[in-house]
Structure 1
Amino acid sequence: MIEVKDLHKSFGDVEVLKGISTTFEKGKTNLIIGQSGSGKTVFLKCLLGLFNFEQGCIAYDGKIFSELSEDEKRDLRGDIGMVFQGSALFDSMTIAENVMFPLRMFTKQSKSEMQDRVDFVLNRVNLSDAHNKKPSEASGGMQKRVAIARAIVNKPKYLFCDEPNSGLDPKTSIVIDNLIKEITEEYDITTVINSHDMNSVMQIGEKIVFLKNGLKEWEGSNKTIFKTDNTAVTDFVYSSELMKKVRQMYIEERQ
């Protein structure tokens, strides 16, 4: 579990995060959503320890990050897996070498042990025959699966995903969503996903935190988001014609 209390973050005179408090639960897919400029990317970077903040605290399973020693912070980073928006694979490396990279950084495993782990996670994301390919030879969906394999290769306690469906077609997006949810439940990971994709919200949004202008405007789940009368949330959720139809279907089913 990750607990956030009264988080404030500014850049110069501009306050981007204005006192956010929430929790992200273990074994669940936790989504951060909101319009561009809402503060969700800054929030995610604070959770990752990439940004310092002026006020508040973030605790990982009861351990407050700001109170950790440098060695403890390094250990914590070894417990974090990250799926970047653009996958962020190394073009000069094979897929297997990309996935092995965190093991080289954070463990002292032998080459055979690392290879066994790479084989296992690539098989888990259905890429058992892709070891020797370069990222440029893989489709966008395959690259995302490689990024997920790399993120979980070190058996993380916390998994962060920044717009994991960016640039993917709807069908492939569903595959990636389901894979993230399966892995979260299978390994009992605290997963936090930064997303603007309403399909993801509907598909895997077990916990949703909606940000607006640096504030936590609403939180709930994909089961409760259609019931809210919060206009900021409904304006965001029903901004597309498709979602308006979904809402109407929901209303009709409730009548």
Structure 2
Amino acid sequence: MIEVNNLHKSFGDIHVLKGITTSFLPGQTNLIIGQSGSGKTVFLKCLLGLIEPEEGTISFNDAIYSELSVNEKRDLRSKMGMVFQGSALFDSMNIQENVMFPLRMFTKMTLSEMQDRSNEVLKRVNLPDAHKKKPSEASGGMQKRVAIARAIVNNPKYLFCDEPNSGLDPRTAIVIDNLIREITDEYNITTVINSHDMNSVMEIGEKIVFLKDGVKEWEGSKKTIFKTDNQAVTNFVYSSELFKKVRQMYIEERN
């Protein structure tokens, strides 16, 4: 479980995060949504420990991150998996070597053990025969699945995803969404996803935190987001013609 209490972050005179308080439970897909400039990326980087807030706390299973020793922080980071927006695979390594990278950093496994573990997670993301390919030989959807395999290879307790569907066609995006959801459930991971994709929200948004101008404007689930009267949320959700139609259908049914 991740608990965030009164989080503030500024860069010079720009106050980016303004007192965010929320929590993220294990076994759930937790989505952070909002327009560009809302503070989503800074919030995610604070959760990852890449940016230090000026005020407030972030707790991982009741352990406050800012109070941990250097060794304790390293141990916590070994329990985090990260799927980057552009996959961030190493071009000089083949797919299996990319997946094994966290094991080399954080474990004392033998080469044989690392290979066995990487084979296991590559099979889990439906890439059982891609080991020797270079990332440049893989499609965008395959690269995302490799990134997910690398993120879970060390059996993390926490999984962070930054725009995991960026650059993917709608069909492949649904595959990636469902894979993240399945893995979250199977491993009971606390998963936090940065997204602007309303399709992802409706597919896997068990908990949704909506940010606007650095403030937590609303939080709820995909079941409740259509019912809110919060104007900022409805403006964001129904910015596309598709969701405008869905909103109108909901209003007509309610009346």
Task: Quickly name the TM-score band, shorter chain normalised.
Answer: over 0.9
Residue identity in the other structure for 2:155: K
Q: 1:191 and 1:149 mapped to 2: Cα distance?
A: 14
Find the counterpart in structure 2 of residue 206 from structure 1: 206
Q: How does 1:90-105 map to 2 (within 5 A)?
A: 90-105=90-105
CA shift for structure 1 position 250: 2.4
The residue matched to 1:165 in structure 2 has which SS?
coil
Q: Does 1:184 align with 2:184?
A: yes
Q: Does 1:233 align with 2:229?
A: no
Q: 1:116 and 1:140 mapped to 2: Cα distance?
A: 25
Q: 1:157 and 1:121 mapped to 2: Cα distance?
A: 16
Q: 2:53 and 2:62 mapped to 1: Cα distance?
A: 19
The residue matched to 1:160 in structure 2 has which SS?
strand
Superposed CA deviations along residues 21-43 of structure 1, whole A, max 9, x for unmatched, are 00011100000000000000000
Find the counterpart in structure 1 of residue 150 from structure 2: 150
Find the counterpart in structure 1 of residue 120 from structure 2: 120
Find the counterpart in structure 2 of residue 18 from structure 1: 18
Percent identity (aligned): 80
**TM-score for both structures, normalised by structure 1:** 0.99
Residue identity in the other structure for 1:80: M
Q: How does 1:36-51 map to 2 (within 5 A)?
A: 36-51=36-51
Q: Where in structure 1 do 4 or more consecutive aligned residues deviate above 3 Å?
A: 252-255
Q: 2:229 and 2:13 mapped to 1: Cα distance?
A: 33
Find the counterpart in structure 1 of residue 216 from structure 2: 216
CA shift for structure 1 position 13: 1.1
Q: Does 1:165 align with 2:180?
A: no
When the two chains are superposed, the root-mean-square deviation of aligned CA atoms in Å is: 0.6
Q: 1:84 and 1:41 mapped to 2: Cα distance?
A: 11
Gaps in structure 1 of 5+ consecutive residues:
none
Gaps in structure 2 of 5+ consecutive residues:
none
Q: 1:251 and 1:149 mapped to 2: Cα distance?
A: 42
What is the number of equivalent residue pairs in this alignment?
255
Find the counterpart in structure 2 of residue 68 from structure 1: 68
CA shift for structure 1 position 253: 3.6
Find the counterpart in structure 1 of residue 132 from structure 2: 132
Q: 2:102 and 2:254 mapped to 1: Cα distance?
A: 49
